C-alpha cells in the first residue's frame, strides 16, 4: 500500500487536527474497513489507538457514538444527520462511517451536502468508495480525499516480508488486492485460506458439472453469505485464469498457479465463446431472497464481447451502478452502452452512467430523439428522455437507422413487423408539435450476438412483440439459440386494474414459436408479467431472471 496516505490520516488524529469529512478511495473494501477502524481507534482511544483497550474494542464491535451505513438511502442519511445533531454519549466525538459511497443515489447524496459542509463540532464523516469518479462531485469536494493505492511491486514485497515463494506471494497479492499489509493479515487467517481452497474446488466441479455440483455450490454460498465478497473475488480470479490459459496457452500470467492442473482441464472443456457469452443482470424488477441488490422496475445487463465491455440499458435509476459494484463490475471500463429504447425504465440511469464513464459511446436508434409518452388514466405521462438530453451528450451518441455492427459479431438492429404487436402499445404515444400521435416504435432495437452455435438475442421490452423481434433476427442472422429480456406480456396497472394484458392464447403462441425454432435458452422477466413468466417456464423451459443472475448461452 502507498503507506504515506494512511499514516497522514492517523497523524491528524494524534495531533487533533481532524477534518469534518474524509473520502477513502480504494478498490478493496476490506482494506478500507481496516484503515477506517484504525483511524477511529486513534480518534476514540485515550491511548492513541492502542488496539487493546475497551474503547478500541468498542470501535470494532460497536460504539454508541459511531454510526455505520452502507450505500445509504435518503431516510438513512436523515437518521445520520439527526444522530450527529445530538451530543456524544461517551467522550467528545461522534463518527459516521459510510461505505460504498459511490453506490448512493443522487438524491441521497444531495441530502448530505449541507451537513458535510458544516458538520457539528466534534463530528467526523468517513466515506469510502471504489473510485472517486463514482461519487457525486459535490460530495467529493467537501471531503479530504485519501487514495489508498496498492503497491506496484506487491508480489516481490509480499514474498520478502513473509518469506514465501513467488507462487504463494502471487496468490496472496491477488487475494489482498496488492496491499502487502492485507496480505500479511490474510496469511495469518487460516479460515480464509481454507475457504479459498474449498471455493476453488467447488467452482471447478461446477464448471465441469460433476457430482451434483450446482446444488452443492448453492448450499456452500448459502452457508458462507458473510464471506460473499471474498468468495466472489476468488471466483473472478479463477475465471480470469481460465481465459488467460485459453487465449495465451501459457501459465505465465496465471495467478492461481497452485491450481494449474484444474485450470488446464477447465480451459480444455470451456470454449472461448462459452466463457465470453455470459450476461449479467444489473437491474431488474426482482432479486433473490436475502440478496443486497437494489431492485426496481427496470432492466440493465452487462456482458463482454471479445475484449470489449458492453452495457445494455441502464435501468430506471442509478441503482444498477450500485449492483454492479457489489458484483465486482467496473462500469468505468465499459466501452459501449446500447439502449434498447428511450423509455425511462431503460434509460433512467443513463445520465449517471455517462457521468462516471467519460469515454463509452452510446448506440441508440435515431428515432429515440422523439418526445414519448404513455397514456395512464386519461393522462399523458412522459416516458422518454428529458428534452435537451441528446444535445447535452451529443458527442457521446452514435445514432443509426436500420442496422449497425457494434463490434465484429455484435449487432444492434431495428425490428420488422410480421404479425400483431402487444396490446399495450395502444397506450404509447409520441408528441409532435402540440399533438400526440401513436408511437410507431421506430426507436426500438434488439441486440444480436453471434456465437459458434448460433445467435443470442437481447431485447429490452419487445414492444414490437417478441415473435417479431425473433423473426427479424432469424431473417438477418440465421439460427437463434437463445433470447433474454422483457417480452411485455403483462399489460399495465391503471388504477386498481391490469389492462392490455396479453391473452393466454398469445403466450401459448410464443411458447410454440420458441419450441418450433428449438430456442433452448429463454430468460425473461421485467415487463413480461409474473403469470406469463410462469407459463413460459412450463411451456418453453423459460427461466426467470433476477438481479445478479449470470445468463449463459
Residue-wise pLDDT tens digits, 181-206: 778 878 888 888 899 899 999 888 88
Q: Are residues 289 and 326 in the same domain?
A: yes
Same domain, yes or no: 397 and 486? yes
Shared domain for 188 and 63, answered yes or no, is no
Question: In angstroms, rounded to a whole number, what is the distance separating the alpha carbons of residues 527 and 509?
Answer: 18
Q: Helices marked H in 295-334 — which ranges?
A: 319-326
Q: Are residues 140 and 158 both part of a single domain?
A: no
The angle at the Cα of 441, spanning 436 to 443, to the nearest 5 degrees, equals 105
Residue 150: DSSP 8-state: P
Assigned domain for 245 exists: yes
131 and 60 fall within a common domain: yes
DSSP classification of residue 545: -
User: Which residue, of 253, 269, 285, is where some domain finishes?
Assistant: 269
- Residue where a domain stops, chosen among 147, 181, 202: 147
pLDDT for res 253: 67
CATH number of residue 418's parent domain? 3.60.15.10
Is the residue at 473 inside a domain? yes
- 99 and 9 share a domain? yes
Domain encompassing residue 192: 154-269
Tell whether 213 and 317 lie within a shared domain.
Answer: no
Residue 318, in any domain of the structure: yes
- What residues form DSSP beta bridges with 449? 410, 456
Residue 160 and residue 119 in one domain: no
Given a contact cutoff of 8 angstroms between Cβ atoms, the answer to whether 465 and 420 are in contact is yes
Residue 315 lies in a domain: yes
23 and 124 together in one domain:
yes
pLDDT of res. 6? 64
Contact 158, 173 (CB under 8 A): yes
What pLDDT shows up at residue 275?
47
Q: What span, in angstroms and rounded, lies between the C-alpha atoms of 363 and 366? A: 9
Q: Residue 467 falls within a domain, yes or no? A: yes
- Domain membership of residue 551 (yes or no) is no
Closest CA to 202 of 220, 223, 226: 220
Same domain, 181 and 139: no
Give the total number of structural domains in the chain: 3
CA distance 530 to 284: 13
Judgement on whether residues 136 and 218 belong to the same structural domain of the protein: no
Residue 426 gets which letter from DSSP?
G
Q: What is residue 7's predicted lDDT score, i.e. its pLDDT?
A: 64
Domain boundary among 96, 127, 147: 147
User: What's the CA gap between 226 and 230, in Å, rounded?
Assistant: 9
User: Are 275 and 242 in contact, with CB atoms under 8 Å apart?
Assistant: yes
| pLDDT at 247 (0 to 100) | 64
The residues facing 522 across adjacent strands are: 483
Q: Counting beta carbons within 10 angstroms of the beta carbon of residue 538, is it exposed (0 to 12), middle (13 to 18) or buried (19 or more)?
A: exposed
The SS3 call for residue 2 is coil
Nine cell digits for residue 456: 443470442
Residue by residue, pLDDT tens for the chain (553 residues) are 444 556 677 777 777 788 899 998 887 777 788 888 888 988 888 887 888 899 889 988 899 999 999 989 999 999 999 999 999 998 889 999 999 898 888 889 999 999 999 999 999 999 998 777 678 888 988 998 888 776 667 788 888 888 888 888 888 877 776 777 778 878 888 888 899 899 999 888 888 766 566 778 888 888 888 787 778 878 888 887 887 787 666 776 677 888 889 998 888 876 555 545 679 999 999 988 777 889 999 999 999 888 899 999 999 999 999 988 887 788 998 999 999 999 999 999 999 999 999 999 999 999 999 999 999 878 899 999 988 999 999 999 999 999 999 999 999 999 998 888 888 888 899 999 999 999 999 999 999 999 888 999 999 999 999 999 999 999 999 999 999 999 999 867 666 666 678 888 999 999 999 999 999 899 999 999 888 888 888 777 788 999 988 887 7
Per the CB < 8 A criterion, the answer to whether 312 and 340 are in contact is: yes
Judge whether 388 lies within some domain: yes
Angstrom distance (rounded) from CA 225 to CA 8: 35
Cα separations (Å) of 381 from 133, 388, 436, 492, 500? 33, 18, 12, 13, 17
The pLDDT value recorded for residue 351 is 94
Q: What is the CATH number of the domain that holds 48?
A: 3.40.50.300
Is 379 a member of any domain?
yes
Are 309 and 343 contained in the same domain?
A: yes
Amino acid at each position: 500500500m502507498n503507506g504515506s496516505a494512511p499514516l497522514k490520516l492517523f497523524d491528524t488524529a494524534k495531533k487533533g487536527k481532524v477534518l469534518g469529512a474524509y473520502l477513502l478511495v480504494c478498490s478493496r473494501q476490506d482494506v478500507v474497513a481496516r484503515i477506517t477502524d484504525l483511524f477511529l481507534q486513534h480518534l476514540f482511544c485515550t491511548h492513541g489507538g492502542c488496539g487493546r483497550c475497551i474503547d478500541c474494542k468498542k470501535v470494532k464491535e460497536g460504539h454508541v457514538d459511531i454510526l455505520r451505513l452502507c450505500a445509504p438511502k435518503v431516510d438513512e442519511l436523515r437518521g445520520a444527520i439527526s444522530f450527529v445533531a445530538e451530543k456524544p454519549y461517551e467522550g467528545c466525538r461522534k463518527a459516521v462511517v459510510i461505505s460504498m459511497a459511490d453506490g448512493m443515489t443522487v438524491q441521497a447524496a444531495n441530502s448530505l451536502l449541507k451537513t458535510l459542509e458544516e458538520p457539528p463540532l466534534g463530528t467526523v464523516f468517513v466515506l469510502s468508495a471504489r473510485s472517486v469518479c463514482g461519487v457525486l462531485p459535490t460530495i467529493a469536494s467537501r471531503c479530504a480525499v485519501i487514495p489508498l493505492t496498492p503497491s506496484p511491486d506487491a508480489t516481490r514485497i509480499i514474498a520478502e516480508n513473509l518469506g514465501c515463494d513467488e507462487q504463494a506471494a502471487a496468490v496472496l497479492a491477488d487475494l489482498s488486492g496488492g496491499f502487502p499489509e492485507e496480505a500479511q493479515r490474510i496469511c495469518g487467517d487460516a479460515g480464509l485460506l481454507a475457504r479459498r481452497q474449498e471455493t476453488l474446488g467447488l467452482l471447478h466441479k461446477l464448471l465441469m458439472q460433476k457430482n451434483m455440483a450446482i446444488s452443492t455450490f448453492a448450499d456452500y454460498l448459502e452457508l458462507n453469505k458473510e464471506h460473499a465478497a471474498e468468495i466472489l473475488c476468488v471466483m473472478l480470479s479463477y475465471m480470469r485464469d481460465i481465459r488467460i490459459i485459453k487465449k495465451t496457452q501459457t501459465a505465465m500470467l496465471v495467478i492461481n498457479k497452485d491450481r494449474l492442473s484444474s485450470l488446464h482441464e477447465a480451459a480444455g472443456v470451456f470454449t472461448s465463446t462459452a466463457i465470453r457469452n455470459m450476461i449479467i443482470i444489473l437491474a431488474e424488477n426482482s432479486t433473490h431472497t436475502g440478496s443486497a441488490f437494489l431492485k426496481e422496475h427496470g432492466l440493465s445487463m452487462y456482458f463482454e464481447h471479445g475484449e470489449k465491455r458492453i452495457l445494455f440499458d441502464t435501468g430506471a435509476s442509478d441503482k444498477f451502478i450500485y449492483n454492479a459494484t457489489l458484483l465486482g463490475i467496473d462500469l468505468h471500463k465499459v466501452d459501449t452502452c446500447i439502449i434498447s429504447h428511450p423509455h425511462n425504465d431503460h434509460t433512467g440511469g443513463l445520465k449517471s452512467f455517462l457521468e462516471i464513464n467519460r469515454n463509452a459511446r452510446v448506440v441508440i436508434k435515431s428515432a429515440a430523439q422523439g418526445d414519448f409518452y404513455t397514456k395512464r388514466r386519461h393522462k399523458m405521462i412522459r416516458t422518454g428522455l428529458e428534452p435537451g438530453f441528446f444535445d447535452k451528450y451529443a458527442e457521446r451518441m452514435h445514432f443509426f437507422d436500420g442496422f449497425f455492427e457494434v463490434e465484429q459479431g455484435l449487432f444492434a438492429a431495428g425490428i420488422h413487423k410480421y404479425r400483431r404487436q402487444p396490446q399495450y402499445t395502444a397506450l404509447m404515444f409520441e408528441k409532435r408539435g402540440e399533438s400526440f400521435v401513436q408511437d410507431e416504435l421506430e426507436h426500438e432495437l434488439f441486440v444480436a450476438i453471434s456465437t459458434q452455435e448460433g445467435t443470442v438475442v437481447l431485447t429490452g421490452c419487445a414492444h414490437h412483440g417478441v415473435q417479431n423481434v425473433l423473426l427479424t433476427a432469424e431473417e438477418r442472422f440465421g439460427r437463434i439459440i437463445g433470447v433474454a429480456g422483457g417480452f411485455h406480456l403483462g399489460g399495465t396497472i391503471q388504477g386498481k386494474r391490469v389492462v392490455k394484458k396479453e391473452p393466454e392464447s398469445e403466450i401459448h403462441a410464443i411458447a410454440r414459436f420458441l419450441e418450433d425454432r428449438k430456442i433452448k435458452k429463454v430468460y425473461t422477466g421485467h415487463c413480461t408479467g409474473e403469470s406469463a413468466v410462469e407459463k413460459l417456464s412450463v411451456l418453453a423451459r423459460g427461466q426467470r431472471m433476477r438481479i445478479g443472475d449470470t445468463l449463459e448461452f
